[in-house]
Amino acid sequence: MNPGTAFVAGRVLFPFACGYFLSYLFRSVNAVIAPNLQADLGIGAGDLGVLTAAYFVTFAAAQLPVGILLDRFGPPRVQAGLMLIAALGAVAFASADSLPMLALSRALIGLGVAGGLMSAMKAIAIWLPRERWALANGAFMTAGGLGALAATVPVEWGLQVAGWPALFWVLAALSVLSAIFIFLAVPDEARPGHDGPGLAAQLRDFGSLLADIRFLKLAPVSVVGMGSGMAIQTLWSGPYLRDVGGLGQGAAAEIQLVLAVALTAGFTLNGIMADRLQRLGVTLAQTMIWTTALYVVCLVVVAAGLFPASPLLWVAFGLTCLTTVLAYPISSADFPVEKSGRVNALLNAVVFGLTFVIQAGIGWIIDLWPQTADGRYPAAAYQWSFGLLAALLAATLAWYALPLRARPRS
């Protein structure tokens, strides 16, 4: 490893990766603590979906302001401040004793971790050449997979020892430490400063991006691909394994651990694969199309209830469910570097805003079926909700793939 690569990895990517680890842990933890929340609060699937998805509302709403701030003030200052907000949200969640307060607290957490991915994407665009972006993004997002992994069996152990409020006190402390680490470790020399375009011009850029055909083709498949993957991995995999797979909470957490390991490996392997294929002349867009097609197949199998508790199925799901993250380096390559924060923030806003709809919508659809005496939902509820996602993903993938030859190579 040459000194330049070591510098970027140690002083730029690693501090942001610590924050992204916590972001994904916050995002995924409700999949394991869901039975505890339902038991303590007496809520159904619909309320659980809204509570968990509150994270995505503020996360999405913050994306455009965060994009402007990143382009104007640079990643370390913005991300350090946001992680302190996440810590405040974790404290509030640990102290809450009602559904509205828990939802508000989770919304505050969503705001605090809203820059976890975008700050790193901006830093990567500043510090690395374009041909290294896909590999760097994949390596960075591995930290998110590790956060998802930590939100499985380790969280289940923590619940048995201390309960979910204590867990969130620990997460609050780790968020503060992450903020300090990012602020002190990440160099700020590449900060754009105040001499860039004004706020009005930056806001106009968002309008032009929304009208750009490249964005209009990329956003739908990104929304459904990442939204469905995150909704299932961060919440609905737990109830699905209980209701369709017939597993207890401990056994379900073990399958979720397998899913998280596969997700982590998928981030790394997809980055390496995309990097290698680019050298062979295969565009990032082409790679994303084929890997997303594999995810459609996995989603159909899950929806059909075939082998619901099979570790192999969930390995395949984890490897493919977030392959549309390649949309970020694709969009970064399509627009100037000085706009990279806003471009990816706009994409993230659309993705996470509609992820709220997907995650809550799954709960609303499941609630159309009555619960059994032991509090379970029938397999048909999951077949319809997951099956609709599979059909929608196939449609958006076809829309994106149709004009492939007309798009510039990424």
| pLDDT surpasses 50 at 193 | no
How far apart (Å, rounded) are the C-alpha atoms in residues 146 and 164? 20
| Whether pLDDT at 323 is above 70 | yes
- Residue found by looking up tokens 């490893």 in the block: 1
pLDDT for residue 204 is more than 80: no
- How many Å separate Cα 187 from the centre of its chain? 26
From 354, 67, 341, select the one nearest 229 (Cα to Cα): 354
- When the pLDDT of each residue in the chain is averaged and rounded to a whole number, the result is 84
Per-residue pLDDT of 96-120, as tens digits, reads 888 889 899 999 999 999 988 888 8
Residues 6+ apart with CB under 8 A from 370: none
Q: For residue 369, give the 3-state DSSP assignment.
A: coil
Residue among 224, 227, 222 nearest 329 (CA): 222
Average pLDDT, stretch 394-410? 72
